[in-house]
């Protein structure tokens, strides 16, 4: 009986992977005409402008047309300067080594390579044969991947860091995992949730290595530019709340802003983080549970959890691929960004439903993980709590 049930479960997983792959083929067909032709530099232009300004002794967080993108949709208008921490002002100077259009194309191929490496590592861990092929097609169709390529964003190398950390934590290699998470946190501080939960859960080594790595990296721009660059960065981040309503913001703040209750997003994010901290300290969860909630909360509780951030959820979706909630979330996260952006100018209800489909996918994942943890399904052996 057990063998029959296992065969039935494998068949269902294969069918689910096939459906995801078929939907992803359609999504790729939609995205290719948008991404492949020259369409401007978008966010990559902001990074070039930031690096160029830093090299010239100017504010790397200023607005420098025409490189800094200006986004206009019905009912929405905003400049998109570089929002990354001060270390980016040094790293982005490399983007200005060649003509920005050439650098953009080179960076696109680097992004594709990093993403392919991350996906292959996860497939090697979680899938085999035809299922691995089908899940690979699904990963290639994710909306966050195509929007990363379209905008020239920097997410895929960071996704690779996160995937390596996830796999190394499973193997008990806290030092390498901590270094990888430290590199991630140094560019995207919202992922500090992950090492904090690790520390509270008793996994002290990776969390301490994370903090040490991120601290060393943070000192570099301080030594090069002085403390003013951190003040400029914090001032920009604090003034960027108006963009929360943008439809590709999948966080609690995005959902709440579209509902006309922006404060509710901050409250929900704060309660989520507080609840997870208490849970981690009292329950001492498994390394997989900590990573799953840590990665997801880093998006949901962030003021800006862009669709590109959903690529960091790949380890969770593949680990729990047999769960119905993971299948539905995986499907929703494949819905192309142009479909979501077409809801600009629509009614509040439309923007909060079809226009927020990626955000609701994250909420579904949160509910699924809570149920999973509560029922004890999918428990993994405890890692080394050192």
Q: What percentage of the chain carries pLDDT values higher than 70?
A: 97
Q: How does residue 56 score in pLDDT terms, banded at 50, 70 and 90?
A: very high
Residue 321 has pLDDT above 50, yes or no: yes
pLDDT score recorded for residue 11: 79
Render pLDDT for 153-164 as a digit per residue (tens, 0 to 9): 999 999 999 999
Nearest in space to 155 (alpha carbons), one of 191, 127, 179, 130: 191
DSSP state of 383: -
Cβ atoms of residues 181 and 194 within 8 Å: yes
Positive or negative, the CA dihedral 272, 160, 245, 370 is: negative
The verdict on residue 47 lying in a domain is no
365 in a structural domain: yes
The pLDDT of residue 381 is 44
Q: Is residue 214 part of a domain?
A: yes
pLDDT tens string 277-319? 999 999 999 999 999 999 999 999 999 999 999 999 999 999 9
Residue 70, burial from CB neighbour count under 10 angstroms (0-12, 13-18, 19+): exposed
* Structural domain span for residue 225: 26-40+106-375
The total number of structural domains that make up the chain = 1
In-domain check, residue 348: yes
pTM of the full structure: 0.95
Q: How does pLDDT run across 121-133, given as a tens digit for each residue?
A: 999 999 999 999 9
β-strand pairing of 76-79 with 70-73: antiparallel
E strands, 307-370, in order: none
Query: Residue 174, preceding bond cis, omega within 30 degrees?
Result: no
Residue 84 belongs to a domain: no
Residue 72, helix vs strand vs coil? strand
Q: Considering Cα of 77, then 364, then 299, then 179, what sign does the dihedral take?
A: negative
Is 1 among the domain residues?
A: no
Does residue 353 fall inside a structural domain? yes
Q: Which two tokens stand for residue 146?
A: 């195509």
- 355: in domain: yes
């Amino acid at each position: 009986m057990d063998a029959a049930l296992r065969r039935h479960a494998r068949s269902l997983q294969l069918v689910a992977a096939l459906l995801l792959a078929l939907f992803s083929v359609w999504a790729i067909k939609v995205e290719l005409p948008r991404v492949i032709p020259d369409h401007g530099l978008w966010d990559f232009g902001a990074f070039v402008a930031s690096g160029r300004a830093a090299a010239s002794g100017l504010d790397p967080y200023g607005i420098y047309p025409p490189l800094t993108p200006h986004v206009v949709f019905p009912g929405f208008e905003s400049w998109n300067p570089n929002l990354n921490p001060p270390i980016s002002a040094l790293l982005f100077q490399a983007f200005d080594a060649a003509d920005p259009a050439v650098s953009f194309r080179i960076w696109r191929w680097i992004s594709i390579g990093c993403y392919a490496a991350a996906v292959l590592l996860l497939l090697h861990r979680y899938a085999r044969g035809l299922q691995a092929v089908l899940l690979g097609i699904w990963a290639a169709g994710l909306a966050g991947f195509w929007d990363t390529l379209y905008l020239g964003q920097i997410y895929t190398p960071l996704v690779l860091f996160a995937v390596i950390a996830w796999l190394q934590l499973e193997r008990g290699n806290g030092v390498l995992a901590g270094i990888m998470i430290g590199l991630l946190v140094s560019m995207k501080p919202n992922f500090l949730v992950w090492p904090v939960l690790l520390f509270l859960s008793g996994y002290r080594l990776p969390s301490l290595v994370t903090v040490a790595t991120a601290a060393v990296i943070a000192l570099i721009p301080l030594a090069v530019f002085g403390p003013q660059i951190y003040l400029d960065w914090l001032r920009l981040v604090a003034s960027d709340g108006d963009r929360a309503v943008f439809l590709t913001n999948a966080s609690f703040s995005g959902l709440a802003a579209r509902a006309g209750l922006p404060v509710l997003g901050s409250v929900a994010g704060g309660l989520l983080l507080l609840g997870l901290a208490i849970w981690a300290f009292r329950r001492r969860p498994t390394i997989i549970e900590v990573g799953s909630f840590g990665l997801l909360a880093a998006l949901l509780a962030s003021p800006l959890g862009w669709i590109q951030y959903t690529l960091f959820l790949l380890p969770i979706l593949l680990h729990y691929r047999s769960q119905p909630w993971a299948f539905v979330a995986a499907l929703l996260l494949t819905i192309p960004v142009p479909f979501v952006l077409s809801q600009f100018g629509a009614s509040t209800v439309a923007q909060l439903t079809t226009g927020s489909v990626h955000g609701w996918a994250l909420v579904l994942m949160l509910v699924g993980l809570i149920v999973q943890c509560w029922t004890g399904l999918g428990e993994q052996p405890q890692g080394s709590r050192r």
